[in-house]
Every structure is written in C-alpha cells, then in structure tokens.
C-alpha cells in the first residue's frame, strides 16, 4: 500500500502546493487506487502521476469545503473518457449528493459509468469488502468533517511450496484447498494438514486520514495504533487560538494526537499558504520534538506503508 499526496495546501493553492487530495494505491491483485478528497485541480495533478482514472475505485470525502471538493465535477466527468472505467463509489457528508447532482444537471453532464454516492448517516463502519474496512468518526470543524480509518484485513499465510513438494503434494487444486484452510488426503492415504504447510496469517495495515479538525478525542480513536496517520497542520505552534477559531490544528497539536494514539508514523499536510518550504521545515522540527516519526507532505510525495510481520514489526 502506498500514499501519494496530490495536494498539500490549505484553503487555496500555491505555486508549489495544490489544494487537498490524497491517493491510496492498493496492493495486488487490485492495483487500483482510492482518492481521499478532491480539491480543484486534482485531475491535473493526476496527469503528473502514474495513476489512471479508470483504476479509481472509491473516493472518500472528508467535508464539503471547496478546497476539498471543487475538483470532483471535472474529475468525474473526465473519467467517462477512460476505457474500462467501472462503477465508482463516493462517500462523504450529507449534501454531497445535492452538490454533484446540481452541477451535473446544470452543466448537462452524463456519466458513462455507474456512480454510487453514499452520504454518511452515522459514525462507524461505512464500507467493507474482502480486503478492506473503512470506519469513520466526526471531527471538530466549521462544517461536518470526518476522518477515515482504513484497515487492511489480515491475509492468509503463504504456502510452503518446498514442504509440499517434499510431501509429494501435486501442484493444482490441492494447493488451493490447503491455502483455504482445508486438510487433504493424498492417494496413498497420508493426511496433509493445512496448518502444517500454510504460514501464519499476514497482519493488515491501518491508515488513518483525517479531515480538517481541531484536536479531539475522535481523532485519537481513529488513529489508534495506525501504521500511518495523515493529519492536517494548518498552523504553527503558538497559533492555537487562531487554529481553534477556524477549526484547525497546529503542528504540535497534530503531533500530540499521534503520540496519544500510538501511531507508527505521522505525515503532516494542509499547510497554510503563509508557510514556504523553509518555514515548513521549522514546523516539522516542532512536531518531531513531540513525535519523532513526523514528516511533512509535499505534492507528489509517495509514502510506502509496509506490512507488519506476524510479530507486529514492519516488514
């Protein structure tokens, strides 16, 4: 799994940073990706990456401020021009459907694929399939704003091919049965137990991406034990009063959330346009004084999230 930052500025774009959007690249066999937020210009940022819109499977919208959603209509429209663009799900706060349907109605857009808009009615589990679950909690902002906890489900362990060969198990359907936890009996009557030839299950990864927020308990809950926490850092240390007034966090407050949650790594984003790259370096130093595993996002930064091994260590 890999995170690609497509926009890391707060409120408005700068020459170096576009407004908010994050891509989550999924592991094999999917090789697709999700988007978290879609600020204006997101599809232009995608053109500078290896991500293709026909591989987009799901969009998670944190809240309806323009710097997080104004890129949606154009991106969704352009997706119709990509061969093989299948059904697409969009999750977000109440009002997301009315916003998109109004734009489509008045601009005469007709999508060439199925679009499913799911408005979040309550906190908790909002999506689940055979690979991932997505949980959400409401944060504290000027509009309803959500954070998302994306959990990769544990995967079956690897088959010990060398041992299977030694035991005389022929490749083919028997391998699949063993992989699925079924014991088998060979033609000579020997019983091969799945537990003897399949390794321990592989732990999944947890990625938490928060929308705009003041420091709050729901942020800690969503980030608990996360392999990666992405947290906004609109303001510098010492600007707590201004951050609270606008429903945002400082870099130090974000670091405190990561520390309390026991996250493995913190990546800060959504920097105010008042901060240039040199200033951001100073902000990160402040965060690292509280949570050493802190880093600053910038546009096109790619963060690999390794899978923990069976002992909880990062592989």
Q: Does the annotation list 67 as a binding residue? A: yes
Q: Please give the Cα distance from 208 to 222 (Å, whole number).
A: 7
Phi-psi region of 275 (alpha: psi -120 to 50; beta: other; left: phi over 0): beta
Q: Does the annotation list 68 as a binding residue? A: yes
Q: Does the annotation list 63 as a binding residue? A: yes
Across-strand partners of 14?
Answer: none
Q: Does the annotation list 37 as a binding residue? A: no
Catalytic residue selected from 37, 67, 227, 299: 67
CA–CA distances in Å: residue 5 to residues 35, 56, 118, 145, 182? 10, 15, 24, 20, 42
**Does residue 196 carry a catalytic annotation?**
no
Q: Transcribe 237-275 into DSSP letters.
A: TT-HHHHHHHT--BHHHHHHHHHHHT-S-EEEE-B-TT-
Residue 88: how many CA atoms within 13 Å on its side-chain side? 23
Q: Which of 98, 75, 76, 87 is nearest to 18 (CA)?
A: 75
Rounded to a whole number, what is the distance in angstroms from the first to the last CA of the chain? 12
Q: Please give the Cα distance from 25 to 1 (Å, whole number).
A: 6
Q: How many CB atoms lie within 10 A of CB 20?
A: 30
Q: Does the annotation list 231 as a binding residue? A: no
Q: Which of 287, 286, 252, 207 is nearest to 36 (CA)?
A: 207
Q: Please give the Cα distance from 255 to 105 (Å, whole number).
A: 43
Local structure of residue 128 (DSSP, 8 states):
E
Q: What share of residues in the chain are helix, strand, coil (percent, to 5)?
A: 30, 25, 45
Annotated binding-site members for Zn(2+): 63, 65, 67-68, 141, 212, 270
Residues classed as catalytic: 67
């Amino acid at each position: 799994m890999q995170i690609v930052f497509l926009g890391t500025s707060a409120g408005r774009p700068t020459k170096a940073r576009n407004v908010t959007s994050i891509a989550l690249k999924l592991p094999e066999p999917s090789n697709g990706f999700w988007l978290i937020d879609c600020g204006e210009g997101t599809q232009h940022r995608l053109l500078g990456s290896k991500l293709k819109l026909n591989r987009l499977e799901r969009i998670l919208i944190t809240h309806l401020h323009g710097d997080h959603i104004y890129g949606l209509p154009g991106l969704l429209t352009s997706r119709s021009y990509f061969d093989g663009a299948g059904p697409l799900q969009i999750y977000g706060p109440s009002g997301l459907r009315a916003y998109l349907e109004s734009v489509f109605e008045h601009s005469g857009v007709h999508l060439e694929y199925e679009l499913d808009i799911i408005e979040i009615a309550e906190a908790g589990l909002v999506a689940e399939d055979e690979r991932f679950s997505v949980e959400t909690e409401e944060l504290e902002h000027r509009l309803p704003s959500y954070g998302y906890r994306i959990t990769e489900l544990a995967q079956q362990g690897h088959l010990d091919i060398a041992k299977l060969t030694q035991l005389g198990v022929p490749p083919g359907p028997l391998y699949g049965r063993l992989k699925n936890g079924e014991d088998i009996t060979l033609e000579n009557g020997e019983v091969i137990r799945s537990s003897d030839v399949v390794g321990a299950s592989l732990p999944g990864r947890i990625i938490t991406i928060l929308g705009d927020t003041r420091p709050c308990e729901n942020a800690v809950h969503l980030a608990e034990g996360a392999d990666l926490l992405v947290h906004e850092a609109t303001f510098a240390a010492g600007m707590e009063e201004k951050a609270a007034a606008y429903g945002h966090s400082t870099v130090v407050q974000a670091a405190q959330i990561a520390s309390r949650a026991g996250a493995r790594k913190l990546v800060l984003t959504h920097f105010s346009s008042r901060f240039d790259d040199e200033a951001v370096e100073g902000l990160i130093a402040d965060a690292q004084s509280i949570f050493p595993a802190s880093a600053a996002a910038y546009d096109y930064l790619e963060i690999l999230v390794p899978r923990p091994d069976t002992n909880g260590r990062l592989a």
